[in-house]
Structure 1
Amino acid sequence: MDTLSHMLLKALRDGSLQGIKLAPTAPTLTHLFFVDDSLILAKASPQQLYQIMQILNIFSQASSQRINLHKPGIICRNALDIVTKQSMAAILQMQIWSNSSFYLGLPSVWGRSKVAALPWVKERVQKNIEGWKEALLNQAGKKKLSSKQAFKQCPRMQWQ
């Protein structure tokens, strides 16, 4: 995968691949590699897509690794018209994933407002932490925790 990474970065330096920037001062991203997944980022142009396919084909031939054509997909911005999306799918020979799909447990499309997108992440983390706390407590601690949670759920009394 280091070789594939170097190939994508070389294409970026040569100007044959553009990648994307998450912010004006951020570095350009062409790819993200995970344990057994890869995410390649590019502009929606035929030249960019053909460049990606060429890099993947050279990498596949050199490494004897094949791309599982049933697994990859394309995630596009909502602003792209359907003709462009279908053209991209034809060039890459991949399916178009809907914007409501998830990748590694996170939404594939965040939108502009990160403040609106992230509360569910905070909620999931808090639930996991509560589960961990409860799993590590002894019987007396669990009883105390459940009484605190019940107290939190009760409406507050108003004193006159």
Structure 2
Amino acid sequence: MTSAAVMHGFVTGFTIGDPSRGIITLSHLLFADDTLIFYEVDQNQLRALKALLLCFEAASGLKVNFDKSELVPVENVSNTRQLASILGCKVAALPITYLGLPLGAATRASSIWDSVIEKIGRKLAG
């Protein structure tokens, strides 16, 4: 459903890559019950996303927990609270953790990886 929403222009995502090597549009990342959805700062896209999630609920019988969901602006967004109210979710800020990995942190700072290294070390030890 998310791919169809992107294909028909309801949700934009963002493009990554080099034109000479190929460009991909990244709109969402899914793993088990963790989901990241990327979209432009546009109320219409957010309303389309909300409609998509409500359709998912109706089709699957599962419930999206908007209370546990977060809107995370990547750059300076002046109407963040207004956008979050469309979804009925909280506002968070980068860096965040997704699947145990830091997102949006300064990748050159080795300290951001300390908790990941510790966790892997504990798993390997026993």
Size of the aligned set, in residue pairs, is 123
Distance 1:128 1:53, change over 3 A: closer
Q: C-alpha separation between the residues in 1 aligned to 2:116 and 2:45? A: 37
Residue 81 of structure 2 corresponds to 86
Residue 44 of structure 2 corresponds to 47
TM-score, structure 2 length as denominator? 0.78
TM-score, structure 1 length as denominator? 0.64
* Candidates 121, 134, 142, aligned match of 2:113: 121
Contact preservation (8 Å) 2:15, 2:24: yes
Q: C-alpha separation between the residues in 1 aligned to 2:65 and 2:119? A: 35
Q: C-alpha separation between the residues in 2 aligned to 1:131 and 1:15? A: 43
Identity of aligned residues (%): 26
Matched, 1:96 2:88: no
Contact preservation (8 Å) 2:101, 2:116: no
Contact preservation (8 Å) 1:75, 1:108: no
Greater share of residues in strand: 2
**Unmatched runs of 5 consecutive residues or more in structure 2:** none
- 1:6-155 matches, within 5 Å, as 7-24=1-18, 25-81=22-78, 84-110=79-105, 114=107, 116-117=108-109, 120-121=112-113, 124-125=116-117, 128=120, 132=124, 135=125
Greater share of residues in helix: 1
The code of the aligned residue for 1:43 comes to E
- Whichever of the two has the greater Rg, that structure is 1
**Unmatched runs of 5 consecutive residues or more in structure 1:** 1-6, 137-160
Distance 1:31 1:118, change over 3 A: farther
Higher relative contact order, structure no. (Cα contacts within 8 Å, ≥ 6 residues apart): 2
Distance 1:14 1:118, change over 3 A: farther
CA root-mean-square deviation:
2.7
Offset at residue 126 of structure 1 (A): 8.3
Q: C-alpha separation between the residues in 1 aligned to 2:27 and 2:95? A: 23
Contact preservation (8 Å) 2:105, 2:112: no
